[in-house]
Amino acid sequence: MAASAASHALSARVTLATAPRASARRVAARRALTPRASANSAAQLGTAKLPKTVAEAVFVRSMFQWANGLTTSGQNLPFALPQRVDALETGFSMAFLQSDPNGEPGTFVSVGEIVASVEDVDGDARALIVRGTGKAAEKGVLVDVPMVMNTMVPAIKNAIAMSSQ
């Protein structure tokens, strides 16, 4: 139980910014007191500092393959919302989709995204920065975000190991 109350430092390289689960009553009370993020704002969900020995292109490709693999089979994880994963030059974008209420039947729109990209930090260091936009930036609104973030930690460790060989 002490591990879940810790500061979520999972290793020297990987830190999650998600909070442990709380009761529905406490979450509802916190939501009432917390201002909502606007559709254009972004919240940082996590950071993973990369070792200098990492082949960045291999790391980025591995992270995209992990994210894309989460969404291609319903057997992997039971998600509440459909998702679309796009490769970026330095990472990936995972959009959470809902049916477009103003569009034709069968059309979907993004209600929030997790965007992960490798960026410069602290001078010459590089890190994977994970941000949430739209409803993914609002804590507790999209139920799939914590599940994705929790499964991202081992994926980052595996991608670092694969790209450091």
Report H helices in the chain. 24-33, 56-72, 144-163
**Do 101 and 119 meet the contact criterion of CB atoms below 8 Å apart?**
no
Q: Using alpha carbons, select from 133, 153, 118, 120 the residue that is nearest to residue 17.
A: 153
Would the pLDDT of 30 be above 60?
A: no
Q: What is the mean pLDDT of residues 73-86?
A: 76
* pLDDT at residue 12 in the model: 36
The encoded tokens of residue 3 equal 């591990």
Would the pLDDT of 33 be above 80?
A: no
The encoded tokens of residue 30 equal 């916190």
* pLDDT, tens digit, 9 for 90 and up, residues 115-146: 999 999 987 899 999 999 998 888 888 888 98
Q: Using alpha carbons, select from 43, 103, 95 the residue that is nearest to residue 67.
A: 95
| All structural domains of the chain with their residue ranges | 14-163
What CA–CA distances, in Å, run from 74 to 61, 97, 154? 22, 15, 20
The encoded tokens of residue 161 equal 């190991």
Is the pTM higher than 0.85? The answer reads no
